[in-house]
Amino acid sequence: MSAPHSPAGPEACDVREALDLVTDKWSLYIVSNLSAGPRRFNELRRAVNGITQRMLTLSLRNLERDGIVARTVHEVMPPRVSYRLTPLGAGLLEAAAPLIAWSAGHVSDITAARARYDVG
């Protein structure tokens, strides 16, 4: 099909691209769990509520690919791999912090709104 007709401004596409970074289930959650410093794979797995091994691996790979997270392998036995935020990732976390805080603070408002909507 024809490319999205958005000559209206270069920002439109950027915003869509940008929001895709946030549109996946785990990335922001993982990033926020790396705020306190480097974490090993299984530390993250325990910290990130409900994530599977597979999804943690995939999410970390994507974050690494995007330059958000850095992966370090320590060549010892047993294997030791740690993950930490890059400067880019730290910037993302900083930018996301208000949204995360707001969301956490307004879950009850939204739950209430839903209840009202579903009744009336």
Partner DNA sequence: CGGTATCCAGCGGGATACTG
Partner DNA sequence: CAGTATCCCGCTGGATACCG
Query: Which one of 13, 81, 110, 113 is in contact with DNA (CB under 7 A)?
Result: 81
Closest CA to 57 of 34, 30, 80: 30
53 is an interface residue for DNA by CB under 7 A: yes
Question: E-assigned strands of 1-120?
Answer: 39-40, 69-74, 80-85
If DSSP codes are grouped into helix, strand and coil, which group holds residue 94?
helix
Which residue number, 81 or 101, has a Cβ lying nearer to its own copies? 101
Question: E-assigned strands of 65-110?
Answer: 69-74, 80-85
Provide, rounded to whole angstroms, the least separation between the CB of residue 28 and its own copies.
6
66 is an interface residue for DNA by CB under 7 A: no
Length of the chain: 120
Strand-by-strand arrangement of the 69-74 sheet = 39-40, 80-85, 69-74
Closest CA to 87 of 69, 106, 114: 69
Query: Which one of 30, 31, 34, 51 is in contact with DNA (CB under 7 A)?
Result: 51
Which residue number, 79 or 87, has a Cβ lying nearer to its own copies? 87
Q: How many residues bind DNA (CB under 7 A)?
A: 24
**Contact positions vs its own copies (CB under 8 A):** 4-8, 11-25, 28-29, 32-33, 35-36, 43, 46-47, 49-50, 64-68, 88, 91-92, 94-104, 106-107, 109-110, 112-114, 116-118
